[in-house]
A = this chain, B = another copy of it.
């Protein structure tokens, strides 16, 4: 184990804040739902992966949001990832309401019928994840929707010559303390702290 770099000692002195949702960074997703005639998009950061097998995501939505009423047990929704090229549109979908505007029209996004459920999905998003609502938990300000993942659609341009997905090409965006960040430098891969030389050589990005 490398020697702990000194500059991190400066983090030890802390100031206490009142409790708030301070987990950072978090994902940024656009959830698209409804049908091809009447669709909506809602941008959320209170989202996360909650299970591997079966694969499941959670998204939390305030009861007052226009999309909340569209999310029912057994209903379908598409979780669309956000890249740097569409973050401005994603922000708009998060601050404006589908009560007032047609978000597909205003953003100019291409509305594609999702292959499995026929739910509208955002063509320009690098990854579309088709889901079904499995369970709803009322937590207070938000209701948490547990979603089963039914299909994953990844942009063709992200596959490399070995048919593996290189997601770094997607220029994905994270949300942290009120700001949108493009993902930056790759620091390592899962397991690199214990990997042997061969694996390090093969998997470390140039």
Contacts and interface: CB of A to CB of B under 8 A. Distances in A.
Interface string A1-41: 11111011111111111111111111101000000000000
Nearest to A166: B177
A177 B173 contact: no
A188 B183 contact: no
A24 B191 CA distance: 18
A86 B92 CA distance: 35
A27 B24 CA distance: 7
A205 B1 CA distance: 36
Identical copies of this chain, number:
2
A49 B60 contact: yes
Contacts of A106: 1
Contacts of A18: 152
A150 B141 CA distance: 17
A21 B55 contact: yes
Given A23-B29, A47-B48, A168-B179, 16 more contacts: A2-B88, A10-B157, A11-B126, A11-B155, A12-B123, A12-B124, A14-B155, A15-B154, A15-B159, A19-B54, A51-B60, A51-B140, A87-B187, A91-B188, A165-B177, A181-B183
26 contacts: A1-B106, A4-B89, A4-B107, A7-B85, A9-B124, A11-B155, A12-B123, A19-B150, A21-B51, A22-B149, A22-B154, A24-B127, A25-B183, A26-B49, A46-B52, A48-B58, A51-B60, A84-B187, A88-B193, A91-B188, A95-B193, A168-B181, A179-B190, A181-B183, A181-B184, A183-B183
